[in-house]
Structures are given as structure tokens and as C-alpha cells.
Amino acid sequence: MTTVTERALWEAMVEARAFDQAMCRHNGHWHEARGEEAVFVGAYADLGPGDVVAPHFRGTCAVALQRGASPDVLAAGVFGTGGSRSGGHWRGDICPAPGPRSIGMFSGSLGTSVAYATGAALHLSRTTPGAAAVCGFGDGTANSGIVAESLNLAAMLALPIVYVCQDNQYATSLPSAVALAGERVSDRARALSITAHDIDGNDVLAVRAAVGTAVERARAGGGPSFVHALTYRMGGHYMNDPETYRTPEEVAAWAERDPIARLQEVLVARGELDATDADARIAQAHARMDAVVAQAKARGEDPPAPPLARTPRTRPR
Amino acid sequence: MTMSEAIVAAISDAMTEDDTVYLMGQDIGVFGGPMQSAKGLWDTFGGQGRVIDAPISEAAMVGTAVGAAMAGSRPVVDLMFAEFLALTMTPLGLEGASIAFRTRGAVTAPLVVRAKCGIGPHRGHAESCAGMLLSFPGLKVAMPTTPQDAYSLTRAAIRDDNPVVLLEHMSLLHGARAEVDRTVEVPLGAAVVRREGADLTIAGSGLMVQRALRAAAELARDGLEAEVVDLRSLAPLDAGLVRRSAERTGALLVVEESWPGSGPAAALCAALLQDATVPLGFAVRLLQPPPTPVPFAASLEAAFVPSVADIAGAARALRLPVKGAVTA
Ligand SMILES: Cc1ncc(C[n+]2csc(CCOP(=O)(O)OP(=O)(O)O)c2C)c(N)n1
């Protein structure tokens, strides 16, 4: 049932990076996702509107873009100004406001969104057979107690959910190699009898295939799966990170494995993409997103919407 | 029905009417729930997967309820005891209760968390953590004292579009039986006068209402007529009704079983000072436990929680000196 072409995956990654880099230029609070695009683009590419997405905060705007959100509204949301969907009431930093089928970061606290996604999967299992939830989180977040509780609950109730650990190898400055007892974060899922895959998180096709298989299992009533996607955060934890905890050599080695360049090479070799066109498209995407973000920032003076008026909600079933 | 039976009946009726309502908690399956908190529900709804026996994962029980609620369910979580609420504050208080504000009402999280609290036959788990709950904007808290209110407030809580904590006092759950009219609606946020009186107002919730009523009967023998207000909802708090009553009687005694630092009494005082014309026009006295954990030994527990005699004594101290002066 996949309709997204590999070329479209490449475009989604290019767009994701363009938005991300524009934010890096204009927003000092931004948490850069450069280098990790294959995980969040590949994991959510093939889902339908009835499925629930709960991406990791790093890359969450890109998932919204992929699902059709307007970059202007997203950018306004990041700046927390009047043009955003929440009128500035949502946490105006990093994550878009949620909908009934999309979950982001709620406060500044990590881990809870994994429980929310699990609860959404519980709702889907009772009301919408064949629908699934995909939930992303970092290797650091994986250590949170509520994540362990949620995975156990999902296994016990055979919920239709796929957990995707976006392992960029650091939680702020703490390497996952130090923070994680045991070999692999996926072993925690295996200990709960959750099917787990360890994949190359810089290969968007590998991510898409692994998550796709897991989503099919979930849709068919096969219960939760865990995908551990090893990737790397090319930038700092946030914009002002002095990055004293890692070496330039390590960063350079991972730059060789850039997920966008990798897929681009494959598509160019197959004749599905012209190298010169590709460069032009990338430049275009960056120029467009830079303009969008700069404009959203400039409109930051907008008066915020009035305080909460409890509007009637539309309840999806 | 007892209060416990009334709550179960309310959940059962809600589940019958609305198939998005489910119940999750520990030992609520064939075991029937701690202190029979889910008695009979397994037989009716267990087969549909709507009564879910959960592992010891309080944060995830509430966390999944928030996610399921946002997606369209109306979950009820049986948390066993209120002291476990502390484990759930990020999903419940900080985040779940914030969604309506943050999305300007476009997305809300209609969920109910049930929690037993208070001193009682269980001998332990007495902490209500009420003050902690009251400090989160958007989080509603109800505490019934009669079977009718237990039924109606539970229905209102499940119908509400935002997170509601239902505090179930263990001394009251299996106490007096009363007729319950399933058509009676009790809104969240409305206190009620349980006994009318002209000489002073005693406001409280849970077991303190029952004790205040007994104290009022005692005071009446001395010619002192106490009006007893059952707060019913701790958030929103019906400070207006309390103020009107106290303005009429000229004195307010707030009795409380939970910790003194913050809680319903503190919230009530803040609301009175904020809304009332200054000076208040009535005397105020708080009768609260000391700032210690709830002690276990029966004698210490008795010293901790205001007794009928304590309430009557505090009422006399608040009111009688004036009358004494008149008669002396
Ligand atoms: C509960 C909680 N504890 C600590 C933090 C502070 N914090 C913000 S991001 C972060 C690192 C998260 O690491 P990871 O989950 O691997 O995601 P990454 O930032 O690497 O994408 C930390 C510790 C937080 N936001 N929430």
C-alpha cells in the first residue's frame, strides 16, 4: 500500500533539513536534527491519517511537514506567536501543537509521550482495527521509567504500536554507551518479548522497511515492535552547545554517512534523479524555508490570541 | 447503595452508554478491585477488554489514559490509593491537565483517576495528596461524601472533557447505605449545605463532613447551631457558597484531614481573601492536622486527624466567647 516513492523520501529529507537549518539560523532554542533525517522521515512515511504518530522531539516538525502541515504555521508554532495553531498557548519551542492523531512533546519533560502513544494505540486497538501508532524517542529518553512501564503494558495488551528509538548516541552530553547498561537499547524490548530490530538509522530505506514490517505486524494484531535505529546528531544538542564531549574526528566520520547524500547517490545512479537538478532543488528548499522561518520570526510581534476559551472539541472515533 | 457501590454503578452505567469508556487498574479483574472498587464490572465488561488489569505502573496507567483520551477514549484509572498519585504527576497534572489550555480547547483529555484515601479500615495509604493536586491548573478534584454524590460526581467526572481526580474516602466507602437516584446531576465545582445553622459555618470534605455533622449535633445541645458545608469539589472550589454561608453566620471553621501547608483550606482562604470585601466580615479558624506524615499507631493517627470533639471544641472557641461575654 506504499505510495511514497523513494524520490519522495529524498525530497522529504531535503525539506526536513531545510526547515531545520532555517530554524538553526533564526532560533537560538532550536535542537538541530541534521544527520538524523533518515529515522524520522523513514519511520512515518507510509502511515495514513488514521494512524497515530508520536515522533521524538528532534525532528517532530519534519514529521508534521511530511503529513501536510504548513511550514508557516509550524514555524509560527516554534516561535510561539499568534500565527500558530495554538495562538501561542502551546509550548512555543521545538514541537508543534498536537492533534488527536499526532502527539508531540507536552511540557519540557521527556518520556511521557511514549505513554501517550501507547494509550493512543490502546484506543486504536479498541476502536479502529488495522490502525497503528508509531512512537519515536531518543536513546536518552529510553532510560525513563515511564518508557519501560509503557513497553511492558503494550506487550501485555498486544497493542498496535511500533517504538522507534532514534539513537543519536548522546543524551545532551552523556553518551548512550555510558548511560545504557547492557549492549543494546533494543535488548530491553527483547526482555519483554517484544520483537526488536537493530538497523542503520542513516539508511532511510532500511528504516522504512523495518518500521513498515513492524507496522504490518501491528495492523494484523501482532502486537508491539521495537526498532532501534542507530544514527548520529551532526550538530550540538542545541544551538549553544559547546560540544566539549566529543571529537571533531568522530563528527567527521559520521558526516561521511549523511542520509540525504546516501539516498541521493542511489537515485542518481539509477537515473531517477539528476545530480545538478538535485543540488538546485536542495538550494531551492533551503531558500524557501529560510524565507518562511524568517517571516514567521518577523511576525513574532503579533498580539497573542485571547486566553483560553473552551471551544467545543471534535471527537474522533 | 454504599458509596462504593454507587461509584461502581456510575462506572457501569457510563460503560453501558459509551463504549469509549474503559477502566484500568491493579487487581480490578476477577479479584474485583481493592476494597471491591470494581465489584461486578469484570463479569459484565471483562470479556470486552474494557476492564484492564494493569501491572504496577502508575505513571503508564495514567500516561496511557492521557494518550487514549486525546485519541477519543474516556478512560477511568483505578489508582488504588491516592499516595500513588505522586508517581503520576507529569502525565496527569503537568501535561494532561494542560492540553485544553495549550490547544485552546481543540484537544482535551477526558479521563478520570480514582484514588482511595483517608484514614479508615484499611490502616494505611491514608494520604490524599490533595494539596499537590490543587496546584496544577486545569486539574479537577472531587470528593464525595454520600452515595448519591458518589454516583453523580462519578458520572460528571467521566462526562467532563478534562482530567478529574475522584478521591474516595476509605472511611465512607462502605459506610451508610442510601437510595441513589441515577437521574440526579451534581456538577463539579458546586458545594452543598448539609446542615443549616445560624451561628457558624463549618466547611470540609470527606470524613470531615461526617465528623462536622456529628459535632454540629453536639453543639446544638449547647444552643450553638452550626451550618455544615460539604465542599464536594476541591477544584474547582465553591468559595462563593462558603463565603455566603459565613457572611450569614459570622464565623467560618475549615476542617481538613490533609496536610496543612497547602490544600483545600489554604485554597479556600486564598479565594476568600481575594474575592471578599475587606474586612471579611466573619472570623476564620482552620482545624488541620500537623505538618507530619500520617502516623500509623492508632493513638497517633487519632491525634493527627481532627475528631468530632476537636471540631466541636474549635467551633466553641470560635463562637462561644462572644456569647459567654453576653451571658456573663
Ligand atoms: C524528564 C526529563 N529529564 C531531563 C530533561 C532534559 N533534557 C532535555 S533533552 C535531553 C537529552 C535527551 O536525550 P535523547 O532522548 O537521547 O534525545 P536527543 O536529545 O539525543 O535527541 C535531556 C536530558 C528533560 N527534558 N526531561
CB contact under 8 A, A106 and B64: no
Looking at the complex, report in whole angstroms how far the Cα of residue A291 sits from the nearest Cα belonging to chain B.
26
The CA dihedral of A266, A268, A270, A274, to the nearest 10 degrees, is: 160
User: Nearest CA of chain A to the CA of B93: how many Å?
Assistant: 11
Q: Residue A88's pLDDT is what?
A: 81
**CA dist., res. B231 & res. B264, Å (int):** 9
pLDDT tens across A290-301, in order? 999 999 998 875
Q: Residue A313: pLDDT above 60? A: no
- Nearest CA to B49 out of B68, B63, B67, B62 is that of B68
Contact B57 A153 (CB under 8 A): yes
Q: Give the pLDDT confidence score for residue A221 in this predicted structure.
A: 97
Which atom of ligand 1 is nearest to A142's Cα? 15
The answer, yes or no, to whether residue A174 has pLDDT greater than 50, is yes
Query: Which of B125, B227, B256, B257 is labelled catalytic?
Result: B125
Answer whether A119 sits within 8 Å of B22, measured CB to CB: no
CB neighbourhood size of B161 (10 A)? 19
A138 CA distance to ligand 1 middle (Å): 8
Question: Among the atoms of ligand 1, which is closest to the Cα of residue A31?
Answer: 19
For chain B, list residues with pLDDT below 50.
323-328
Confidence of residue A90 (pLDDT cuts 50, 70, 90): confident
What atom of ligand 1 comes closest to residue A58's alpha carbon?
21
Is A213 in the B-facing interface, judged by CB distances under 8 Å? no
ipTM, interface predicted TM-score of the complex: 0.92
Percent of chain A with pLDDT over 90: 81
pLDDT of amino acid A96: 82
Q: Where are the alpha helices (H) located in chain A, listed in sequence order?
A: 6-26, 37-44, 60-66, 71-79, 112-127, 145-156, 176-179, 186-191, 204-219, 248-255, 259-269, 275-298
pTM of the model: 0.94
Q: In the prediction, which pLDDT does A29 show?
A: 87
* Predicted local confidence at residue B125, as pLDDT: 85
* pLDDT at residue number A310: 43
Is a pLDDT exceeding 70 seen at residue A176?
yes
Residues 6+ apart with CB under 8 A from B300: none
The values of phi and psi at residue B272, to 5°, are -65, -45
What is the average pLDDT score of chain A? 92
Q: What is the pLDDT of residues A179-238, one digit of tens each?
A: 999 889 999 999 999 999 999 999 999 999 999 999 999 999 999 999 999 999 999 999
| pLDDT reading at A260 higher than 70 | yes
Buried b (16+ CB within 10 A) or exposed e, B186-212: bebbebbbbbebebbbbbbbbbbbbbb
The answer to whether B17 is a known catalytic residue is: no
Q: Do B52 and A123 touch (CB under 8 A)?
A: no
